Amino acid sequence: MDCPVCRKPLIVAEREGIELDVCPWCHGLWFDAGELELLAEKLGRSLPVHDDGVFPPAAATEKPRRCPRCDRAMEKVQLGQTPGVIVDRCLGHGVWFDHGELGSLVGQLPVTQGSHHEAVTTFMGETIGAVPSPDKAGGPAGEVER
């Protein structure tokens, strides 16, 4: 499965029972359908990303990305509170976060008593930190296609 931004293979990472795919070039993250909900659950929040109509479609200022699973253009949806975090979603397959977007979203979710917020934040930090830096590899960072 390739990164929808860089078109390079994603690296599979699994922690805390959540499987996600990380791009070592742009540090984007792909969650398969259900995995993001699982993460939200661990944060003590309900985030049913794959219920259609729950989230408002976002004004698409970015160019649409293609789903790494089915290669169709994904839709932009807003998650979290207004102004939300705009992510790319394929309803059947999953959600794509650009670098930093997941952190913004997690920052918006109120922490409830007894949630595993810290554990998950640590997990996300580890996941991002675990991949090689694109600077060192001499590869491209960010969007090169317009």
Region from 30-38, 56-64, 70-78, 79-87 binding Zn ion, contact rule CB under 5 A = 70-78
CB of 3 or CB of 106, closer to Zn ion: 3
Provide the minimum distance between the beta carbon of 122 and Zn ion in the complex, in angstroms, as a whole number: 23
Two structure tokens written together for 99: 């670098």
Give the Cα separation of 112 and 128 in Å (integer): 24
Q: Where are the beta strands (DSSP E) in the chain?
A: 11-15, 18-22, 29-32, 75-79, 85-90, 94-97
Work out whether 76 is an interface residue with Zn ion (CB under 5 A).
no
Site for Zn ion in 1-20 (CB under 5 A): 3, 5-6
The single residue among 18, 20, 26, 120 that binds Zn ion, judged by CB under 5 A, is 26
Two structure tokens written together for 137: 């590899």
Give the Cα separation of 24 and 11 in Å (integer): 7
**List of residues contacting Zn ion (CB under 5 A):** 3, 5-6, 23, 25-26, 28, 67, 69-70, 90, 93
